Chains A and B, each alone.
Chain A
Amino acid sequence: MIPQNHFLILGAVLFAMGLYGALTRRTAIGILMSIELILNAANINLITFNKFIGSEALGQVFALFVMAIAAASAVIGLVLVIAVYRNMKTIFTEKMNILKW
């Protein structure tokens, strides 16, 4: 049986990759994809702890919730990206600074 640590390491690696992507990607879509990675890392952790500690399927239910919210937030994010692109002809986040002081 695969020990719990492997799962946690996978989640941490996924989280690190997501964070790295979110911090370094120039396009808004890349950042959105990285955030999805972070959410997946959180899901793996939820399921892992449910499997090894919990008795009921509470963690899995939460993971389902997170996936639903991730889908919704991805929609919102993509819509925003499209709206920004229409106005500014770019999706590079460093160009999106019109709200700066």
Chain B
Amino acid sequence: MVRSAHLIPLFPFAAFAVNILFGRRLRKASALVSIGASFISLAIAAITFIGNARYGEGSYMVGRWLSFGGISLDFGVTVDPLSCMMLMVVTVVGTLIQIYSIGYMRDDVRFSRFFAYMSLFMGSMLGLLLSDNFVMLYIFWEGVGLCSYLLISFWFERPAAAKAGMKAFITTRIGDTGLLIGILLLFFTTKTLYFRDLGNLGINDAMLTAIALLIFCGAVGKSAQFPLHVWLPDAMEGPTPVSALIHAATMVAAGVYLVARTYGLFLSHHASLIWVAYIGAITAFMAATIATVNNDIKRILAYSTISQLGLMMLALGVGGYDGGTFHLMTHAFFKALLFLCAGSVIHAVHTQDIFKMGGLLGKMKATGWTFIIGALAIAGVPPLSGFWSKDEILSEILREGHPVLFGVAAVTSLLTAFYMFRLIFVVLFGKPRSELHAHESPAVMTVPLGILAAFSIFAGFFRPVKIEPLMMGVSIAVSAAGIGIAYVFYIAGNKVLPASFRSRFAFLYDLISNKYYVDEIYEAIIIRPAVRLAGIAAAFDSKVVDGAVNLTAYLSVIAGKVQYWFDLYIVDGIVNMTANITWLCSAVFRRLQTGFVQNYILIAFFGLAIMILIKLTGGQ
């Protein structure tokens, strides 16, 4: 085991610090800082990866963090095949996306801040991957959430972007709350927070299920699974490299990674695992259908991501740990590729509506061909990477004996092939549908595309290929059917078939194109009551609470005035009266002191005379 893994997240964090503090002075050089840090992380990740392959896995302690009540918490690092694989994916994809961003964000006013956030995002994700206990994971988990908020609403001048950022943050927060409760529950029942202890906790099934489902809640939020998937399509308001990073390497991968990391917890009790499978299946199917009718190039890819993540969850849920994590890796490459291609297209034509594009392959050769490679990979065409991982998922589902879930997965795969090639055919082939002066993007953008395309093709061979003829036949047939339907709809029977289908299944079309009304349902049952409750609370606050405060203030003023008056006229009056009386008395009596000595003698004499008179006339 190579003990250098803990250094991996430090460099992106350092790059973040440098860029956020000196971004103004660095200007364009901040990109180099971030990319340089990413490259160093990539190199260390590669060393860790090789070391893991050669010397085996393990976790080690970097330092003691907390120690309380006989329980201690360490800054620990886990190095195992899962974390190594994800480290490689995140560093490779992250680095390429950052290089691509140089071109994409070239004219942005907050160029260096963008790179600062990107580095922070990467650092948080790398930290998350390396965590060996729940508390560290939760810290980085929130760091990832924070960065997604910052980056989705990066163009915060646009209200839609600001709203999307908030939506993403609040929606994932719901899941995070579940995760936090799960972690606390785990801690208070078992007094452990380490992943390595999860296999044999020795607690009853009900508690185990509760903890597993609560932790899964966090994954549902982060990985945009039904019913918390609504934030991801809206997150498309962010810059496209951000979308690529969120979808491929960082944000949404975290949810799947969490389930994979805490897999021991799910495995020890089957009831919780099947939940993961069904949530994944619902999400996969739902998102795939929505993607077939959407017209926004980035939203199609967003729904595609949700669908693929659902597939991963489904695989994990049926016990297909290898298939799920394998798909997580391959998906990272081709989804990053697809997003960056989409970014390149948007950069060229300045629109996101696919029906305003068309025939772009002739004008944007590099982007177009890499786009097609990405689409082939996600559609599951052999021998590209998506084929191998999807094939493994399908065969694992069937092997575990879930025919219904297998059907859902197969249909999802078909839909995946269909919507991806709908996108390809509409955007890249045919005639230009509007006056677009498309041009190829600069090399700084196309070179990362090429590298990612290579990964998309060959990532499937990173692990030994298993040949299962029957299953492969099914996979290929499904992909081919999807691509074929897309061809029939959008190339052969262009304009006619889609419209007739739309009118024939009007209800279904409305349902799907409105995204199953999930947003509307949330609006009606959660947001609007919440707003109303907030309104009532605000009214209560302004009327009753503020009223009470104001009344108190008013009464205090009056009491103060009374006291002032009392002080002025009664207390001061008594003091002044005493003084005045004294003054009056002295004004009378001081006249006795005349300063003439004879006066005094005269008075003394008369006093004596009077006393003698009194004595003589009978007073004793």
A22 touches B596 (CB 8 A): no
Which residues of A45-101 have CB atoms within 8 Å of chain B's CB atoms? 93-94, 96-97, 99-101
Which of B590, B594, B598, B605 has a CB less than 8 Å from the CB of A31? Answer: B598
The reply to whether B597 and A31 contact each other, CB–CB distance below 8 Å, is yes
Are the CB atoms of B596 and A97 closer together than 8 Å?
A: yes
Contact of B593 among A23, A25, A93, A100 (CB under 8 A): A100
- Specify which chain B residues have a CB less than 8 angstroms from the CB of A97 in the assembled complex: 594-596
**Is A23 a contact partner of B602 (Cβ separation < 8 A)?**
yes
Residues of B contacting A31 in the complex (Cβ-Cβ under 8 angstroms): 597-598
Could you tell me the distance between the alpha carbons of A19 and B598 in the complex, rounded to whole angstroms?
10
Report the minimal beta-carbon distance from B582 to chain A, rounded to whole angstroms.
Answer: 14
- Interface presence of B601 (CB below 8 A): yes
Residue of B nearest to A93 (CB): B597
Is A4 at the interface (CB under 8 A from chain B)?
Answer: no
Question: Please, which residue of chain B has its CB at the minimum distance from the CB of A31?
Answer: B597
Cβ of B601 and Cβ of A22 under 8 Å apart? yes
Q: How far is the CA of A95 from the CA of B593 in the complex (A)?
A: 14
B590:A24 contact, CB within 8 angstroms: no
Interface centre among A24, A96, A100, A101, by most B CB within 10 Å? A101
Q: A23–B596 contact, CB under 8 A? A: no
Contact digits for A1-34, partner B, Cβ 8 Å, 1 yes 0 no? 0000000000000000001001111000001000
A97 to B596, CA, bound (A): 7
Contact with A along B581-618 (1 / 0, CB 8 A): 00000000010011111100110010000000000000
Residues of A within 8 A of B601 (CB): 22-23
Instruction: Verify B598–A22 contact, CB threshold 8 A.
Output: yes
Which chain B residue lies CB-closest to A25?
A: B598
Cα(A97)–Cα(B602), bound, Å: 17
Asked if residues B597 and A101 are in contact (CB atoms below 8 Å), the reply is no
Contacts of B605 in A (CB 8 A): 19, 23
Beyond contacts A97-B594, A97-B596, A100-B595: 14 other A-B pairs, Cβ-Cβ < 8 A, are A19-B605, A23-B602, A23-B605, A24-B598, A31-B597, A31-B598, A93-B596, A93-B597, A93-B598, A96-B595, A96-B597, A100-B593, A100-B594, A101-B593
A residues near B (Cβ < 8 Å) are 19, 22-25, 31, 93-94, 96-97, 99-101
The 9 closest A-B pairs by CB, nearest first: A97-B595, A100-B595, A93-B597, A101-B590, A23-B598, A94-B596, A23-B602, A101-B593, A22-B601
Q: Can you report 9 residue pairs joining A to B where beta carbons are below 8 Å apart?
A: A23-B598, A23-B602, A31-B598, A94-B595, A94-B596, A97-B594, A97-B596, A100-B593, A101-B590
